[in-house]
Amino acid sequence: MDHPWWRGAAVYQVYIRSFADGSGDGVGDIAGLRSRLGYLRDLGVDAVWINPWYVSPMADAGYDVADYRDIDPLFGTLAQAEAFIDEAHGHGLRVIVDIVPNHCSSRHPWFPAALAAGPGSAERARFFFRPGKGGRGEVPPNDWTSSFGGPAWTRITEADGTPGQWYLHLYAPEQPDFNWDNPEVRAEFHDILRFWLDRGADGFRIDAADRLAKDPALPDMASLADGAPRPERGQPGAHEIYRGWRRVVGEYPGDRVLVGEIWMDLQHRAAYHAPGELHTSFSLDLLFSLWNASELRGVIDAALESGAATGAPATWVLSNHDVTRVVTRYGRKDTRFVSYTITSDGSAGQADLILGTRRARAAALLTTALPGGVYVYQGDELGLWEVEDIPFEQLRDPVWERSGHTDKGRDGCRVPLPWSGSAPPFGFSPDQAPPWLPQPAAWRRLTAAAQRADPGSTLSLYRDALRIRRAEPGLGDGPMTWLASEPEVLAFTRPGGFACVVNLSGVATELTGHRGVLLASGPLDDGMLPPDTAAWLRTA
Ligand code: NOJ
């Protein structure tokens, strides 16, 4: 195949602090990851994406980076990271690292330097420092709010002890936003990209990729006309930034990929796929879709149309470390991810985890059969559910505090993986160290060890699906054709005599015109495909 690998890759998302702990402190790390590389190879993924592993005070679980060129001691050392990249390559796995360019940590050396240097300095120009409004500068420079709750501005105390300027942070106050109009910021990130490319990185997942460029006027949201472009997301200045990044990546041999994390609708997201910019971005649309055929068909068609127009493949995502786990979402009547404010106060209703698991398994076969790439969030291959009963005092996501305890945040999808054994820590840590978030006792049935030998387990389903996906030349990147079907059934073919059928109706449906069932997400009912079940068929 002469297509670049990333166009059809199955990428496993490693949320490193919850993957596997090698050091015995209850937090996942590079040593643990290296010890489990065989698991990833056997799972059959093509690549891994590692969430931030850089030096960080961990105000936002590593998305507050203090040194982009070194590894946090919690996770290991730079030498271990280098060894990991080499070993992954030795197993035929590509490595995508997470780059966080919108903001750094307030402990990144540039930020204290900016505080010390004072208003108007070159050091402050790397960030957004502004005087406040009001008689004494006591009102924030504009009305923007942080994605984690509260104002997006924090006032500093100047070196002489007086209340001073405000700085912008679209996330936590510990995450000051960089000013991307500043040439030093641009040069620094080109250098950081090269640092990791030199170490063998096969690509970058770009955090908050749509937020780097801001409307220089920093206008109040309240002043904007209805439908006016957002001043802090999707601004046109991003295009030049990513053309620069694409040139840097292009200096390196092989196919290295730039994948944007862009929480905007497809039309706005596609603007980043312009020639010479990002190769692709996460297709997050399934997270906001109901589990019904017309809605899913619409999302798929839109992705294919957009891909045809821009050349960027879809990269299907069922969940990640920021949203409710798919088993839990699909166990609810409304399967869309809205926010944790709703799911955490109980108003979203108790999830039916049996139903959710059945649908999540069907969705796994759907997304791995669709054209393009697919991301598998660690633990989805084990069928883990959202842990919704973590005691308040153990919550670690800054969202919990920033929201004034109205939003529990994202810890429930970040609980450490269960590997083996019958009680926590389920082999996550050596020496029985308690994991950094508590694991449900009921996960004893879902450990990797318990599922490995069970042909009906979700782990076996993923392994089978990924094995077939690799072997079938028509899967991954390439065309698909819808087949005529009942309205609540999705059916499509891929080249080479392959079809996928997903039954979203309430009744079993007949599987016609095939020569054999390659794989099914649940037992068939006398040859019929039951509700909330998917099957892969050999058609020629
Ligand atoms: C998106 C990341 O996925 C999320 O975990 C993080 O909190 C924000 N960006 C800020 O970096």
Handedness of CA 429, 433, 437, 443 (dihedral sign): positive
**Which three-class secondary structure state does DSSP give residue 487?**
coil
Best probe residue, ligand 1, of 17, 322, 400, 410 (max atoms within 8 Å of C-beta): 322
Task: Give the model's pLDDT for residue 340.
Answer: 79
CA distance 85 to 349: 42
Q: Which helix (H) or strand (E) holds 492?
A: strand 489-494
Does the beta carbon of 270 lie inside 6 Å of ligand 1?
no
Quote the ligand 1 centre to 246 CA distance (angstroms).
22
Task: Give the model's pLDDT for residue 293.
Answer: 97
Mean pLDDT across the stretch 403-407?
A: 91
Higher-scoring residue by pLDDT: 256, 339:
256
Q: Whole-prediction pTM value?
A: 0.98
Does the beta carbon of 492 lie inside 6 Å of ligand 1?
no
Q: How far is CA 256 from CA 103, 115, 365, 535, in A?
A: 23, 37, 27, 33
Q: What is the DSSP string of 376-410?
A: EETTGGGT----TT--GGG---HHHHHTTSS---S
Phi, psi torsion values for 533, nearest 5 degrees: -130, 150
Give the rounded percent of residues in the chain with a pLDDT score beyond 70. Answer: 100
Banded model confidence at residue 347, pLDDT cuts 50, 70, 90: confident
For the CA of 208, the closest atom of ligand 1 is 9
Residue with tokens 């008689």: 135
Banded model confidence at residue 339, pLDDT cuts 50, 70, 90: confident
Task: Give the model's pLDDT for residue 150.
Answer: 93
CA distance 42 to 131: 56
Banded model confidence at residue 245, pLDDT cuts 50, 70, 90: very high
Whether 470 and 44 have beta carbons less than 8 Å apart is answered as yes
Does the beta carbon of 63 lie inside 6 Å of ligand 1?
yes
Does the beta carbon of 272 lie inside 6 Å of ligand 1?
no
Task: Give the model's pLDDT for residue 346.
Answer: 73
Please state, rounded to an integer, the average pLDDT across all residues of the chain: 96
For the CA of 102, the closest atom of ligand 1 is 11
282-322 pLDDT, tens digit per residue, is 999 999 999 999 999 999 999 999 999 999 999 999 999 99
Mean pLDDT across the stretch 128-150?
A: 97
- Residue whose CA is at the smallest distance from ligand 1 atom 2: 207
For the CA of 60, the closest atom of ligand 1 is 7
251 noted as active-site residue: yes
Task: Give the model's pLDDT for residue 219.
Answer: 98
Quote the ligand 1 centre to 270 CA distance (angstroms).
21
Quote the ligand 1 centre to 208 CA distance (angstroms).
7
For the CA of 148, the closest atom of ligand 1 is 7
Mean pLDDT across the stretch 88-105?
A: 98
361-376 pLDDT, tens digit per residue, is 999 999 999 999 999 9
Higher-scoring residue by pLDDT: 345, 104:
104
- Residue whose CA is at the smallest distance from ligand 1 atom 11: 63
Task: Give the model's pLDDT for residue 103.
Answer: 98
Residue with tokens 């998917």: 534
Best probe residue, ligand 1, of 171, 375, 399, 410 (max atoms within 8 Å of C-beta): 171
49-96 pLDDT, tens digit per residue, is 999 999 999 999 999 999 999 999 999 999 999 999 999 999 999 999
Task: Give the model's pLDDT for residue 40.
Answer: 98
120-132 pLDDT, tens digit per residue, is 999 999 999 999 9
Task: Give the model's pLDDT for residue 303.
Answer: 97
- Residue whose CA is at the smallest distance from ligand 1 atom 4: 322
Does the beta carbon of 177 lie inside 6 Å of ligand 1?
no
CA distance 469 to 44: 9
Catalytic residue among 123, 207, 232, 407: 207
Q: What is the DSSP string of 313-336?
A: PPEEES--TTS--HHHHTTSSS-S
**Lowest-pLDDT range of 6-20, 297-311, 336-350, 504-518:** 336-350
CA distance 231 to 324: 28
Mean pLDDT across the stretch 396-410?
A: 92
Task: Give the model's pLDDT for residue 215.
Answer: 97
Give the rounded percent of residues in the chain with a pLDDT score beyond 90. Answer: 95
Does the beta carbon of 64 lie inside 6 Å of ligand 1?
no
Best probe residue, ligand 1, of 18, 63, 170 (max atoms within 8 Å of C-beta): 63
**Which three-class secondary structure state does DSSP give residue 459?**
helix
Task: Give the model's pLDDT for residue 185.
Answer: 98
Banded model confidence at residue 178, pLDDT cuts 50, 70, 90: very high
207 noted as active-site residue: yes
The closest alpha carbon to 217, from 261, 181, 246, belongs to 181
Residue with tokens 């694409």: 246
Banded model confidence at residue 344, pLDDT cuts 50, 70, 90: confident
- Is residue 1 over pLDDT 70? no
188-213 pLDDT, tens digit per residue, is 999 999 999 999 999 999 999 999 99
Task: Give the model's pLDDT for residue 485.
Answer: 96
Mean pLDDT across the stretch 444-455?
A: 97
Q: In what order do the strands lie in the sheet with 481-482?
A: 481-482, 489-494, 498-503, 533-538, 516-520
